[in-house]
Amino acid sequence: MEDAGFIIGSYVITFGAIAVYAWRVLRRSRRITTRVPDEAKPWT
């Protein structure tokens, strides 16, 4: 594929950034929600 570097690069950057952000959010949520009583968490 021509210009593969740029094209595949754009996919890697896109989904890489989303993955990093998602991982940080989930890590923070796991760490925090254990210390919060259940009634403060409407989704449980």
Total residues contacting another protein by CB under 8 A comes to: 35
CA 27 to each of CA 2, 7, 21, 37: distance values in angstroms, whole numbers, following the listed order = 38, 30, 10, 18
Burial profile 16-43: b = 16 or more Cβ within 10 angstroms, e = fewer: eeeeeeeeeeeeeeeeeeeeeeeeeeee
- Per rule CB under 8 A, is residue 21 in the interface with another protein? yes
- Per rule CB under 8 A, is residue 23 in the interface with another protein? no
- Per rule CB under 8 A, is residue 7 in the interface with another protein? yes
- Per rule CB under 8 A, is residue 28 in the interface with another protein? yes
Binding site for another protein (CB under 8 A): 1-4, 6-11, 13-15, 17-18, 21-22, 25-26, 28-38, 40-44
